[in-house]
Amino acid sequence: MILLVLPNGVLSSFTVNFIFIILALSGTIFSQSADFGFDSIDCQECDAKSVIRSSSLWLSESPAMDPASNNRIIIQSGTLSLIKKVSGEYWTYPNFDFGIKVTRNLAITGKLFGFSTAKESPQILGAGIQYYYGGGDTLNWVSSIQRVDLKGLSYFRLTSLTFDIRKWIEWNSIQFRIGVGSNIFKERSYKGYSEPSSMKGQINYVGADALKSYSFLKYGIGTRIHPGRTLVTFFIQKELF
């Protein structure tokens, strides 16, 4: 790989963006080990309900857009993992989000990506909004709503709707995003793969993220905690414009 370096030793914006794209795509391509099947040998210890609820909680992830930032566009890529083993393995999922600030108080977010596993080719499509508010000129509270559809699977399709309220706090140059949320899902199984043929449910959770800026990227770690089903996420983020 050829790096473009300016005379003062600073990487050019083209090189910086190229490095981020490589990191983002690597996270999406190589970070999946979840099983979306209902009758797979690897999934003997779980049932269809477990597959659906884990998938819906994965889709509830939304980009951590800093309310105080002057940049209007962010791209975020990461990996999510269940902390409890399923069939002796930690299931992991890729994630890829983007966000655009329309005004100082409002942002539009989205998911648009796909990937391939040994057996499936999931397609993820979703959109949402984030609204920032707070006392005085401090916009440290965020309310968000997001809908995401999971398609392209052999066994089922899934719609996930998430409501989330977070507060941003900064301590020692580390940013924290802490709050609660609720994920509502609706699943439809294809004929012959599951009984009943559809499922509905709700997952309430406590969420927390920590972000640290280093060089031209932000690095983050987060979690969503629900009794019996908790996710940990690692992500990188690039702000643009």
Q: Would you state the pLDDT for residue 2? A: 35
Query: Does residue 149 form part of some domain?
Result: yes
Is residue 4 a part of any domain in this protein?
A: no
Q: Is residue 7 part of a domain?
A: no
Residue at token pair 């709050």? 179
Question: At which residue do the structure tokens 């609706």 appear?
Answer: 186
Predicted confidence (pLDDT) per residue in 86-100, tens digit: 656 778 888 999 999
Question: How many domains would you assign to the chain?
Answer: 1
Can you give the residue range of the structural domain that contains 58?
Answer: 13-240
Query: The tokens 């910086």 sit on which residue?
Result: 16
> According to the model, what pLDDT value does residue 215 have?
82
- pLDDT single digits (tens) 117-146: 767 888 999 999 999 999 877 899 999 999
The reply to whether 2 falls in a domain is no
> How high does pLDDT run on average in the chain?
82
* CATH code (residue 100): 2.40.160.20
SS3 124: strand
232, two tokens: 């940990």
User: Among the listed ranges 7-11, 31-35, 161-165, which one has the minimum average pLDDT value?
Assistant: 7-11
Distance between start and end Cα atoms, the chain = 25
At residue 41, φ and ψ (nearest 5 deg) are -60, -35
In a domain, 45, yes or no: yes
> Comparing 20 with 131, which gets the higher pLDDT?
131
Q: Is 134 within the bounds of a domain?
A: yes
The reported pTM is 0.82
**E-strand spans in 61-155?**
73-82, 92-101, 106-114, 123-133, 141-151
Per-position b or e across 128-154, b if 16+ CB within 10 A of its CB:
bebebeeeeeebbbbebbbebbbebbe
